[in-house]
Every structure is written in C-alpha cells, then in structure tokens.
Amino acid sequence: MSLEQFKNRNVGQQQYRMLDLGKTPETGWGRFKQVLGRSLKVELLIGLGVTFGVMIRTLFRGETHTIRYPFEKIPISRRYRAIHEMKRLLESGHYRCIGCGLCEKICISNCITMDTRYDENQRKEVSEYSINFGRCIFCGYCAEVCPELAIVHGDRYETASEQRASFSLFEDMLTPIDKLKSQQEYPGFGAVSPNADENIKKTPLAY
Amino acid sequence: MIHEVTWIGAAVKALIALLLVSAVAGFGTYIERKVLAWMQRRPGPAHVGPFGLLQLAADGIKLFTKEDFIPQFSNRLIFSIAPVITAGTAFIALAAVPLFPDFTFPSWIPLLGGVFVPSIASDVNIGILFILAAMAAGLYGPLLAGMSQQNKWGIIGAARTAVQFLSYEVVTGLSLLAPIMLVSSLSLVDFNNYQAGGIGSWMLWQQPLAFILFLIAGFAETNRTPFDLLEHEAEIVSGFVTEYSGLRWGLFFVGEYANMITIGVLASVVFCGGYSDLWLIPGWLMMGLKVSFFFFLMLWVRASWPHIRPDQLMWLSWKVLMPLAVVNVVITGIVMMAMA
Amino acid sequence: MSSITITIDGQACQAKEGEFILNIARANGIFIPAICYLTRCSPTLACRICLVEADGKRVYSCNAKAKDGMNIVTKNEEILEERRAIMEVYDVNHPLQCGVCDQSGECELQNYTLELGVDSQSFAIPDTKREATTWSSVLHYDPGLCIVCERCVTVCKDMVGDAALSTGPRGGEKLSKELKEIVPKDAYAMWNKLQKSVIVPSNGTGETNCSDCGECIAVCPVGALVSRDFQYTSNAWDLTRIPAVSAHSSDGFQIYYEVKPTSIADRTPKIYRVTNEWHYTSLDGAARFAYDFENGSAQKDPVAFAKAVEALKKAETIRFNATITNEEALMLQTLKEKLGLKLYNPEVGAYQKFLASYAKTSGNSLYSGDTDKIMKESDFVIAVGTHLRNEAPGSRHAFNNVQKMNKGAGLYFHPVGDALVPTFGKSVSQFAYSPGLEEAALYLILDLFADKEKLPKEVAAYLEDFHSTETKTVQEKVMVDVVETVVDEETGESKEVTKKVPQMVEKEIEVVRNGLVELLGKKSDTFAAEFEKMLKKKERFSLMVGEDLYYHEKAENLAKLVALIEKACDFDLVIIPPKSNALGVALICALDDQASGYTVGYNENGDFRLSALGDGDLDMPALNQQEGTLTTLGKRIVPTNAALPYHGYELNDLVRELVGAPAETIDWTAKLPKKRGYKAVAFDALTNAYSNDGVDHRGYLLDTESREEKLPEVETPAVYSALEGEIAVRLNPGRQFSDFTDKAHQIFEPFALYTSPEKAAELGARVEVVFKNRVLKLDVIADDKMEGDIVCVPDFKSREDIYGLFGDRRYQTVTLRKG
C-alpha cells in the first residue's frame, strides 16, 4: 500500500470486501430457523475439529510458538533499543565520545549527565558519564543526535539487577577494549544512511 | 450376591470419593492448562517437575500461603462461608454418585478386612433427585460470595449466578426426566443396570436429544465456557470471586472441578452405560475413561468456542432448550404408552 | 548635538547627529548583522558584514554617521550576496569542532552562517597550522577557531585600556589571482586581511601581562578565547544564568553567575563562570573571575546562633566593611538605633565623612556625575587620588574610553606612578606627586580650569601667588640664508646657490611659571605647552576623586575644594566609593569613628565573628548566596540574586531574634531611607536589564537634590608638607578587593608588598615593613607598571587589620628592613 492510499481516509472508496452474512432474521420463527440451521450444519463441531487438530500437531509434531526464554533466545533486531552502549574508534581503540553534550541536551527525560574537562592533549575529555536508567525511557534520541555514533542502543535487554547503577557509568557502557574487534555498528536511529554520500555537498579543499 | 452396607464401608467410600475428587480437581487444573496450551500451540506448564507435573504442588503451596484477605466493608461471616458452601454442596452431591464398582477389602487387611465398599456412598432411592438438589443448593455459594463482598463486579456476578443457575436447573431436570421415565427409577444403580447390555443398550441412543440438552445445561451449571458469565473477566473482572484470594478462592475452584466431575459421572451413568464392563475393559476403567472424556470435552470446548452474551444465554435456555426438553418428555411419554 | 530623523527599511528613526547607523538601527530594533563592532568602542571594519545602502551608496553601518533624512536599506539581493560571500570566506578552513567548542551554539559565526543561508562552500585555500596557547593565568587562545574580528583587540584598547592585544602575522598563503576574480569585493578585502593575521599579545612576547579582566573572552564571537578554568567544562546551554551584581568593586557591574551542578557525584550547584552584557558593561578581573567566594558548608547551628544573639546583646560595637547589601546595612543601622550599638566601618567611615563635607558645602546631596555619563559626554577627564588601574576599574574604563572614543584628554594625579595611564591616549598627562600635596593638585585644577573672575577673591589671589614671570634665555632655531659658491665639477662653472641653514640663536623670552605644577613634580613650561594642546576643542569636563582624599589629614578641606571645583569649573564630579557597597553603607548607616568595648565583627575582626568566609563563629551568606540590593558608583540601586544555595542563618534571623524583623531579607528593600534618596520599591519590582540602545534599566536611580549655595570657603594652606622618606600606601593589587576576592580560586595576586621593579630589586625578596605600632613581614612583588619608590601594602585581608596600621591616612612613612 502506498503512502497516498494510506492517507486516504475516505472509507467508502477503499477496496473492502464485504462478507455475506445473510439477513438477520426479524421474526421469532426466523430466528428459530437460523438456530436450527446453524445447529444442523454443525459449524460448532468444525471449530472443535480445528482446535483438536492443533493439539495433535502440537503434541506429536512439536509445532509450538513458545520460546523457552531463559533457555533459548531469539535474535533481536539490531535496531532494538535496549541499554546503551558506548562505542570505540576501531582504529585507535579510543572512545568515540567527544563530550559535546548533545545527548544530554536532547534527552527528554533528562537522565543523561556528563563531566568534561580540558585534558593534557588540549582536547575535551569526558571524565565521567552517567545515564539514570530509572528515568530513561529508551526513546533513542541520544543515539540519533550523537554526531560521532558514539552512544547507541545495545541489545542488553536483561537488565534486572540489584542496582540500576550497575549499568549507568561510562565504563559500564563502553565496549571492552579486548572486544573491540567484535564491536558492531548500530543500524538504528542516527546511523549513517546507505546513500549518505549522495546527500552531501562537497567542500573544496586546497590540500 | 448382596452385601450389607456398613457405616464403615460408607465412610471409606466417602473418604475415597473426597480424596479422589480433590486430587482429581487439582490434577484437573494441570490437565486443563496443558490441554488449553496444546490447543493454542503452547507447551503449557513445563518447568516444575517432569512435564511440569509438580506445577500442581507449586500452585497448592501458593494458594495455602497466600494472605487471607477479607475486604473491609464486606460481611465477614458470609464472605467466609460462601466458598465452603460451594465446595460442600459439590461433595454432598457426590454422595449419591457411583464413582466405581463395588468391592470388598481383602480379609488380610487389618481393621478393614472384609468390609464391603459400595459403588455409591449412599444408594438413596432418589439418587438423581438428590444430586440435582445438592447441585442446585450450590447456587448459594457464588450468590452469597458475590453479595457479601461489597464490590460491584461481585454483585453483578451474583445476579448472573441466580439467573443462570436457576434457568439451567430447569433444563437439566427436564432433560433427565425422559431417561427417568424410561428407567422408572431415580437410583443411579438402576440406571447402570438398565444399560448393562453393551454399547447398544446405552441410553444415548434412545434419548439423543436429552443427552445433548443435558450436556449443554451441564456446562451452564458448572460455569464453564461458553457459559462462564459468572466470572467473565472481560466484562466483570472476576465476578463473584473478585475479592477472593488464597485458600478461599481455592475452595471455589475445587467446588467447580468437583461439579465438573459430577456432571461427567452423571452423563456417563445416565447416558453412556455407567460402570458396566465393556468387552475386556473393566467397569471402573470404563467409568474413568468416560468421565475423562467429558472432562476433556469441557476443556476442548473452552479452547474452541467463544463466550455468549447473558441475553443469548437466557434466550437459549427459555426459548430453545426448555421447549425442546418438554417436547422430548412428551414424545418419550407417547412412545412409552404406544409400546406398552 | 541636534536630533535628526533617518529612515531605515522604511521605518523612521530618531537619532542624534553623527551617530553611527548601526547603533541607530539597534536602538530601534532593526537587525543589521555585525561581527566586529562593539557598541562602546571604535569601529574596526574587520568583518564588513554590516554593509548597508545609504541613499543608494554602499556604506558600512558601523562607521557611517547618520545625516538628516538619510534613507537606509539594510538588505537587498546584492548586499545579501556580499554578506553570504563574507560568511562563506569565514567558514573556509574553520574547524568543524562545534561539538566540543566552548561557544556551544552561542557562536556568531554559526548564527550568521545559518542566518545568511550559507549551505555550500565555493572557496578554498591551504590552511595554516596554528597552535593553541595560553596568554596568562586566565586566558586561553585557540587561533584555529579565531576569525580575527579583532573585537578582543578593540575592547582591550578602547574600553579596558590595557591594549594588550594586537594582530600579528599568520603566515598564511597569499590569495591567488583567480580568487580575486571570483570572490566579491568586500569578502575579498576581508579575506585578504584575515589570511594575513592572527591575534597576539601586543608586547611581542607570548604573555599578555595585562590586568586579566577577561573582557576579551566575553566579546569573542567564537570559541577562540576562553578562560582556562572554564575551558571544556560545560556547554553554555547547561548553565543557568542568574542576574547579579559584581560584589567587589564599587562600580556594581551587571553580571550573570552561570550555574550548574558541580559534577555527576555532587549535585550541589557551582558557579562555572561569570558573563556580562558586554555591549553595555565591561567587567574587571575581580568581577569576572572572583565568583566562588560562597560560604558553601554553612548549616544552621542553633548553638552558634544563640551565642551570636548573646554576643550582640552584650556588644558595644559592630565592626563591618563595605561588602554587604543595602538591606544588611539597614539591619545594622536598625540594631544601632534599637540597641544603641556603635557601627564601625574602617572602609567607609572616611568616605562617609568626605561625602558629608562635600554635601554640606556644595548643596548637592550627592556628586553629579557617573562613569557612564563621563564615557558618553566627557572629552576631558581628570582623576585625583585614585589609583585607576588597581582600585577603580569602572572609572579606569571611563578615563580610557574618553581618550579613545571622545578624542579626549586627561590629567592623572596619583603619587604611585603608573606606566599604563599615559598609554590611554596621547593627551594624557600624569602627575606622580608626593603624598601630602593633594590640596595642591586640586588647587592646580582650579587654576587650570576655573574662571578666575568667579572664584572667591582670596582663592584667586592665592592661585595668582603661584604664578611668576621670569625671563629665560632659550636657544632658538632660526633659518639663515647662506650664499654658497658651488663649482660644477664637469663644466668648471661656478654658481651661486642660496641655502637655508639652521642656526641656534639665543633669545630671551618671558615665561610664566606655575609654582603648583612645579610643586607637583612637572616642569611648568613644558606642561603649559602640553596643556594648551590638550585643551583644544574640549567642551565637557569631568573629575573623578578617590580614596587618597578621604583618608587625609585635611579631608574636610579637600571635600570643600572638590565642591568648589565642581561649581566653579562646571565639572561632572564622581566621588568614587572605595569598595563594593561603600556608597550604600555611607548613605544608610550612621557610622562611628572608633570601635570600643566588646566588638562583633561582620566579615571583620572582632570578639565574636559573624562571617560569610566560613571561618567565623556564626556563618553568614556571601554576596553570591543572597538576594539584596547594592548602591553603585552610578548612584543606582541594583538587585542581585542568589546564585548558590545557603543553608545557614542570615543576618535577618539575628535581627528578628533581637529586635524583630520581617520574614525575608528583601522585605527591607522598600524600607531603605527615603531621605537619603532611596525609593519605596519592593525588591521584586526592581528591573534588571539594559535596553538595545544601551540604556541602563537596572533598579532605580537615587533621588538627589541640590540647593543653591554660595561658593564654599576653602582653606588656603601656606605651606605644603609632603611626606618624606620611605612611604607605604594602602593599595591593593589589581584584582583584589577583599577577603572574598582572595578566596576565589582564579585570583592569584598574593598578600604581599607591591612596588615598582626598581624598588623591588632594591628591596630584595622579602622585607619587614615597620609601622609605628607593628611590623609586617611581606614578600616583595614587582608590579612592572608601577613607577616610583612608594611601596603598596594591600588591605584585602581583614585578619591583618591593615586599616588599623594606616588609621585615617592612606600614606604612612615606614621603615623598610630586609627580612
């Protein structure tokens, strides 16, 4: 369905298929005939047959929809928005966050805080970073606004813990340096679109 | 061979019935959950014990240890009594129900040696009437529970109880009247004996309409889908059990399952040949199989069919089932007169 | 200056003749983009983005003067095209570090780039490597971010007076010829200049060696200039701006405390920086950097409170200083009235007396001028007895601004010579007289500026006595015609050539000697010539007098002389309040001369100490923790707000306990004494803003009244006695005013003996300063802008009781011993 059709709210012109339900009987005798007719057609028994069939298949062919969760897990979408992750630069292993504070600013539940300072290399250093997960609503704005693709949502949805603080500091979210090689890019909010290059005006450079 | 029924035998029978039905009621919950699950492509309880069998025990522990909660403005006395009425009447009804064939304890067993245990704890000569009466009295359980708890959902549940149970009492009674006319007895033992001639002699074939009417009414009497309007959670939260929890709620549950078994037994004995042996299958097993089938049928229906509306329920009872039952009785009478 | 009407974008605007078009537009709410222009400074013409069309001709609105009937178009397609090209050029090679840049979105480069819709770049040039540096203990400069708008240079020169910055070579590549063809004219001119320059300290070293006021940080439109302490610690949008008043100098500068939680772990608010409305007010170093003087750990301590109540009950004197609000001053006055306490304030006492003598003789309840008025109107400004650089930043800005903006002239009288003051302008003359000759200085002013006819006869006669005529033989250059015979080498012909040859001729001339000038240490003949030049085309005169005159043996006579000068010469007069809220205290409290008996000190020494410094017997809120009003040098009552939380007791609680008081400190605001010029305006009704045309709408002005009085009678001293020997002056280093500035972590000036480099070399590293009653051991610090032999003893540490050493004098003869 195209967007145009989707936006057309004029019900009458849309291609609905009407079910033939017959006429609703108006007299008592008519209704009695309807009951009798339906009873004799054993429609109800067909329903019983369906469920029985399902049971047989479940029991003997193992066709169930259930995922026995703690023992088996389905892969979740890479765009799922669970507990945040802080990415590192693949080349140097340095964390990507530049401390610009945009995530802090855009956060609608006001749960991100950061401390920054002037470091020895004349750069802005993030000395501490924290997300209050008691307030975070996992909207993904922080990931979307991040200019460096540094803060993203990860796939850690099992967040039961004795303390929320277990997830909320910079080092908790940062990719461990030894797992740098397995760090994956996040394709969700804020990721670079596949055709990003086409949408950028080139700036002349003299070197 | 006629044995004398001693009080010890009756007591043993009552005890066995009580324990058995309670156990089966508990086990029934497990079966219900499993069957519903399978019919919905789920595995059902699977983690507590092998195949989730100990789920039953876990639920039991939960029910027993839950806080006994009585709402502040409820009538405490009636609120407390109501579940007992439900469970009590359900078991009283079982007193006149033959659960399995007679047997005598072997003589080497101390104390009980040689004691005769009858198929029925008390083979009163008005068995069916007694069962119907006891089950009808069970109406007071949900009614009082709903009215005592000072909760609007409870009140609606209670009102529905009165309407539904009273209406379907009529259908149950009338549908059983025709088989009674044929057997000319109210004792279930006589029913059993009447059909002792194999499958061909089952009442089912003589009274198919009565059988269907009885089953429908039985669903309504036991408050099962599609007639579980008393506690229809989509409409009235939990109806008359809204404020109940823990063991009191458990008693309602046990009562409901006992009633399901009673209906199953009645349907087996009155219409399906009772506890007579069939071919090589012993009578007690036949009985077990038949009751299990009717129990399963109730779960099956629950998994397959939707609820109906209260007005449809009343319409069905008074305008369809009751007239059909009356017609059935009249036709049975005419046929009997013609045969005589 | 007559009123004219010009039309800007179809809107008729009233203006003064000769005003800049840009200022007229701003005053009328019409937007013209401008990067390099600062309202109260001279146009730099670096950015060229303010170009407009005046009567069909392109002009730069920042330096084009309005003429009656002018019709201005602020934007049309060509102007926008030119402006867009300028912004595009600014964006060439500008680092895309907006994410970490401290300007964090308050960036004019960003704003104008977006405003003008620059969405692509068509120019390029190789970048030049430029390293970030630190210029002083507070300044950090990143030339990579700098767009060389020269606002920092301009404000430092035209407003602050340090002229510590200038443009220096960038080492960038020259613009190619192709660029000249494709880049529009103004953008090319701007780029040509930009590509050649960066900002460097003007003294040729890597250090600015300035007064560290940080005004250059405030005016920087991008993130190139940032204070070292603030660098990369916070985004601008995270900071809550709390409008307040600078607590240190008496100028009552408008400031914003910018507040944010300290860190993730510590959520208590902390002041991260101080900003100001830099178009309309300029701060000194103390106002900008001495902000963290709060009494942070204070809690309500009922035991200490009870002791404080007891102490006040038995006290005979309350000793306090100028760093309090008007409300607190009124509370202390109430305590005095109800409990019969004495109020002793060494910082304000002499000032109050001076003001009283002045008011009595002049008939004016308060001096007539203020620094803002001087900046706007004066073209000749005289400062007497105030060390402009160190103790009166607002007056110093005014003195300097008059030289730069009004083509003004200035006379500076102070015993401690200052190398900076003469650099304010070409027509500034400095008198580094010996202490004790203050009367002579004032008489010289009378002599130079007063209409002798108007003066009382004895004064006129007294002045005449100093004049003497003498004949003097001077060498004069005379051009004499000399006829020479020149032989042409080739032809052998000889020719007579007449040449003019200078010849020294002795000549006798009559010279008028002025004894006062000589007394004050200048040669009267050279000064006369100098003064004649200074006086050319001058219309409006002003006089600023300072602390030297209040702490003087003859303070009363000096006050009379000041009143006489104001009347006789028609000067705008400012009697500079020594510190913080000195004017407010002087107006509200009836101060006593001496402390006696049991003394309660409020931020001062005493037997029981109430203190906002955190070291007293009962904690009090500091000025950044409380609401209240201050009375500024400009005679304005301005509200200040609490930037940081305070959990302890306030003075109001003590007053309530003792004599009863309203619920809140600010409930006192409307009760300030009406007969001293205050108005019954509630604190919450006080406004706190500048309007676009720079008019100050902060609080309200004191009501002043003036009666007609005949010219005051003044004492004419027959003999002047200058102090001799080693002289010490009570004078603070630049950014120090009180214990509060000393507490701030960005104020580095220590408590030491400050003097000129020569004297410092003579004294060695450490000296003992021997006063009559005490000996101070101090480190010696050379202030390379000081001149002369006078040594300066700071008074900002109340524990040292420097006022006790100097008493009612500002200068003392001391003995200096190597320590």
Q: Per residue in C155-205, pLDDT tens?
A: 999 999 999 999 999 988 888 888 888 999 999 999 999 999 999 999 989
pLDDT at B117 over 60: yes
Return the half-sphere exposure (C-beta side, CA atoms, 13 A cut-off) of residue B236: 24
Residues from A contacting B (CB-CB < 8 Å) are 28, 32, 35, 44, 47-48, 50-52, 54-55, 57-59, 63-66, 68
CA C496 to chain centre: 65
My answer on whether C442 and C566 are in the same domain is: yes
Residue C334: inside a domain, yes or no?
A: yes
Res. A5 pLDDT band, cuts 50 70 90: low
My answer on whether C663 and C731 are in the same domain is: no
Instruction: Supply B321's token pair.
Output: 């089932």
pLDDT at C705 over 80: yes
Average pLDDT, chain A: 83
Contacts of A123 in chain C (CB under 8 A): 100, 232
ipTM: 0.80
My answer on whether C599 and C668 are in the same domain is: yes
* Distance (Å, whole) CA A169 – CA B286: 68
pLDDT in the model for residue B99: 67
* Distance (Å, whole) CA C229 – CA C744: 12
**Closest residue in A to C234 (Cα–Cα):** A116
Q: Does C182 touch chain A (CB under 8 A)?
A: no
Three-class secondary structure assignment of B97-149: CCCCCCEECCCCCCCCCCCEECCCCCCCCCHHHHHHHHHHHCCHHHHHHHHHC
Q: What is the pLDDT of residues C454-513, one digit of tens each?
A: 888 889 899 988 888 877 777 777 777 777 777 766 666 777 777 777 777 777 777 778
Contact status, residue A118 vs residue A125, Cβ threshold 8 Å = yes
Contacts of B43 in chain A (CB under 8 A): 58, 64, 66, 68
Contact status, residue C433 vs residue C415, Cβ threshold 8 Å = yes
My answer on whether C814 and C667 are in the same domain is: no
Is the overall model pTM greater than 0.80, yes or no? no
Contact status, residue C128 vs residue C170, Cβ threshold 8 Å = yes
Residue C205: inside a domain, yes or no?
A: no
Calculate the alpha carbon distances from B300 to A47, A59, B55 in Å.
10, 15, 21
Q: At what angle do helices B208-221 and B283-304 cross, to 10 degrees?
A: 70
Residue B47: DSSP 8-state: S
My answer on whether C571 and C589 are in the same domain is: no
pLDDT at C245 over 90: yes
C238 with A98: Cβ contact below 8 A: no
**Closest residue in B to A53 (Cα–Cα):** B39
Residue C341: inside a domain, yes or no?
A: yes
CA C140 to chain centre: 22
Q: Does C233 touch chain A (CB under 8 A)?
A: yes
* Distance (Å, whole) CA A72 – CA B31: 25
Contacts of A130 in chain C (CB under 8 A): 264
pLDDT in the model for residue A12: 62
My answer on whether C562 and C622 are in the same domain is: no
pLDDT at A1 over 70: no
**pLDDT over 70, % of chain C:** 99
Average pLDDT, chain B: 83
- Of A154-158, C509-513, C726-730, give the lowest mean pLDDT range: C509-513
**Cis ω for the linkage preceding B226 (within 30 of 0):** yes
Of C683, C627, C588, C586, which Cα lies nearest the Cα of C245?
C627
Here the CATH number for the domain that contains residue C780 is 2.40.40.20
Q: Does A117 touch chain C (CB under 8 A)?
A: yes
Contacts of A51 in chain B (CB under 8 A): 39, 300, 303-304
pLDDT in the model for residue C744: 94
DSSP C589-627: ---BS---SSEEEESS--SEEEESSS-SSEE---TTSS-
Residue C717: inside a domain, yes or no?
A: no
Q: What is the pLDDT of residues C603-631, one digit of tens each?
A: 999 999 999 998 899 999 999 999 999 99
Q: Does B320 touch chain A (CB under 8 A)?
A: yes
Q: Does B304 touch chain A (CB under 8 A)?
A: yes
**Closest residue in B to A70 (Cα–Cα):** B47
Q: At what angle do helices B76-94 and B127-137 cross, to 10 degrees?
A: 160
Residue C655: inside a domain, yes or no?
A: yes
Which letter, b or e, does each residue of C733-768 get, where b requires 16 or more Cβ atoms within 10 Å of its Cβ? bbbbbbbbbbbbebbebebbbbbbeebbeebeeebe
Residue C712: inside a domain, yes or no?
A: no
My answer on whether C431 and C360 are in the same domain is: yes
Answer whether CATH 3.10.180.10 is correct for domain A84-192: no
Contacts of C230 (CB under 8 A, 6+ apart): C102, C272, C273
Contacts of A36 in chain B (CB under 8 A): none
DSSP C496-522: EEEEEEEEEEEEEEEEEEEHHHHHTTS
Q: Which residue range forms the structural domain that includes residue C411? A: 352-468+517-575
Every domain of chain A and the residues it spans:
26-65, 84-192
pLDDT in the model for residue A207: 66
Residue C226: inside a domain, yes or no?
A: no
Instruction: Supply C623's token pair.
Output: 């000025």
Q: What is the pLDDT of residues B293-337, one digit of tens each?
A: 998 998 999 888 888 888 888 888 898 889 999 999 999 889 888
- Of B274-283, C137-146, C247-256, C641-650, give the lowest mean pLDDT range: B274-283
Last residue of one domain, picked from the residues C575, C608, C625? C575
Alpha helix stretches (DSSP H) within B184-245: 188-194, 203-206, 208-221, 233-236
My answer on whether C391 and C425 are in the same domain is: yes
pLDDT in the model for residue B1: 43
Q: Does A115 touch chain C (CB under 8 A)?
A: yes
Residue C500: inside a domain, yes or no?
A: no
Contacts of A172 in chain C (CB under 8 A): none
Tally of domains within chain C: 3
Q: Does A38 touch chain C (CB under 8 A)?
A: no
My answer on whether C645 and C693 are in the same domain is: yes
Mean pLDDT value of segment C28-56 = 92
For an interface test with A, which of B39, B299, B320 has the most A Cβ atoms less than 10 Å from its Cβ?
Answer: B39
Mean pLDDT value of segment A111-140 = 89
Instruction: Supply C24's token pair.
Output: 């007229």
Q: Does A207 touch chain C (CB under 8 A)?
A: yes
Touching partners of A (3+ C-beta pairs < 8 Å) = B, C
Q: Does B43 touch chain A (CB under 8 A)?
A: yes
My answer on whether C664 and C740 are in the same domain is: no
